[in-house]
Amino acid sequence: MQAALITIGDEILSGNTVDTNSTYIAEKLKNIGIKTVQIFTISDEIETIKKTMKSAFEVADLVITTGGLGPTRDDKTKIAFKEFFNDELVLDEVTFEHLKQLLTKRNRESLVDLNKDQAVVLSKATILQNFNGTAPCQMVEENGKIAICLPGVPFEVKPFMKNQIIPFLQEKFDLPFIETRIISVVEYPESLLAKDISSWEDQLPKPITLSYLPIANRVKLKLTNVGFDLAKIKNELQIEVDKVLPIIKGKVIATNYEGIEDILHDLLIEKNLSLSVAESCTGGALSQLISSVSGASQYFVASIIPYDYQQKIKILGVLAETIKSKTVVSEEVAQEMSFGLMNLFQTDIALSTTGVAGPNSDEFNSEIGTVFYSIRVKDFEQTFRLFLPHLERKDFMSFVSQKVLQDLIAILVKTA
């Protein structure tokens, strides 16, 4: 089975809103053996929606739309569905009762009449109730194909997919298993990596596929296998992993982890190490990445953001003379920050970042894009320098955060 996704909304096309729904839905479908072959992003126009629905059904058996189901006049998806399927809209009493109960629980009884149109649905549709918003999900099956119409709010889309749509699809269709294996490779340029493993890649048996996924300067090699015999496809993947690991030995920091933060999580728990962070130029992005994993409280003790250089002196004990002679963006300041941090929180590991994310420089006229970060593991310390003038501010913070954890993991793996 193949799927096509349609994201509806002028706010997506204008760049004001980021489409996270398509990524989430495609991933959930992939995990149950449904491949997404095309993703459309279109405006809130009835004819555009209908034409795109036609195009989507030409390449897929399952079409999922998100957006355009709100109570305002610019939400036209429901009308487009009605015309596309030659159907009529009717008031569904079950949905209306559900809507009234939902608004009552939220102390918004006065909004029932204003939202009554949300209970008007396609007569042909199977309705899935929305427990997180006012617009229900509508599913239409016709000529062996399925259209699923979802609201556009991500916190409504996710529970719909997880709790109702995925179980429905799994029960209705005999779907294959999809298994993946991930090998995280560092300090290995992607082009050279591809060259070195080309012979192995050329001999991968079907249907195993390989993807190169670069993040910061780490590359994730992602092997995917599909089949109806779960034990068989797992074994086939492991055979290929065992073949390639000797080729890239010394460059692998982990296998079978999606995120760098997940690798760090298990490594720190295994080694029973605690961690603290002092970040300046990353502005909390590093701490957010570390704490995004459930269970991070087992090792993540504390984080501070001494953005102003005076706070580096006051809180971390960085010497004013060091800042005066070396400037705040320097190897020496990064080292003194991590040293003061380790003493402050008494952790096994201390990480510090100092730099200029841009687009403007600091009061010391430091070169934009320069960053120093110090990794201190007990008595060991190593300082790194990056120069990233081409990255915009948010991308700079994300890249540096990924790279800091990557280098920390490499240090911990080597000292195992």
Give pLDDT, residue 236: 97
For the stretch 89-119, pLDDT in tens is: 999 999 999 988 888 888 887 777 777 888 9
Q: Do residues 10 and 68 lie in contact, with contact meaning Cβ atoms separated by under 8 Å?
A: no
Alpha-carbon span 398 to 393, nearest angstrom? 9
What integer is the mean pLDDT of 10-29?
93
Lowest mean pLDDT among 100-114, 290-304, 318-332: 100-114
What's the Cα-to-Cα distance from 299 to each of 73, 182, 293, 373, rounded to whole Å? 50, 25, 11, 20
> How many of the other CB atoms lie within 10 Å of CB of 387?
11
pTM above 0.75, yes or no: yes
Q: What is the mean pLDDT of the chain?
A: 94
Q: Which amino acid is at 221?
A: L
For the stretch 214-251, pLDDT in tens is: 988 899 999 999 999 999 999 999 999 999 999 998 89
Alpha-carbon span 336 to 322, nearest angstrom? 9
**Domains of the chain listed by start with CATH number:** 2-172 (3.40.980.10), 177-255 (3.30.70.2860), 260-414 (3.90.950.20)
Please tell me what DSSP assigns to residue 113. T
- For helices 46-59 and 77-84, the axis angle rounded to 10 degrees is 60
Q: Do residues 401 and 362 lie in contact, with contact meaning Cβ atoms separated by under 8 Å?
A: no
* Alpha carbon 192 to its chain's center: 27
For the stretch 137-170, pLDDT in tens is: 999 999 999 999 999 999 999 999 999 999 999 9
Give pLDDT, residue 365: 84
Alpha-carbon span 326 to 337, nearest angstrom? 14
Q: What element of type H or E holds 79? A: helix 77-84
Alpha-carbon span 28 to 160, nearest angstrom? 11
Percent above pLDDT 70 for the chain: 99
Tokens of 329: 């963006």
Tokens of 57: 């059904």
For tokens 């460059």, the residue is 251
Give pLDDT, residue 416: 55
What backbone phi and psi angles, to 5 degrees, belong to 63?
Answer: -120, 125
For tokens 């080292």, the residue is 335
Tokens of 192: 């050279």
pLDDT at 396 over 80: yes
pLDDT at 176 over 80: yes
CA-wise closest residue to 177 among 222, 226, 237, 235: 226
Peptide bond into 71 cis (omega under 30): no
Give pLDDT, residue 73: 66
CA-wise closest residue to 309 among 281, 339, 351: 281
pLDDT at 49 over 90: yes
Strands lying side by side in the sheet with 370-377: 300-304, 275-279, 349-355, 370-377, 380-387
For the stretch 336-375, pLDDT in tens is: 999 999 999 999 999 999 999 988 888 888 899 999 999 9
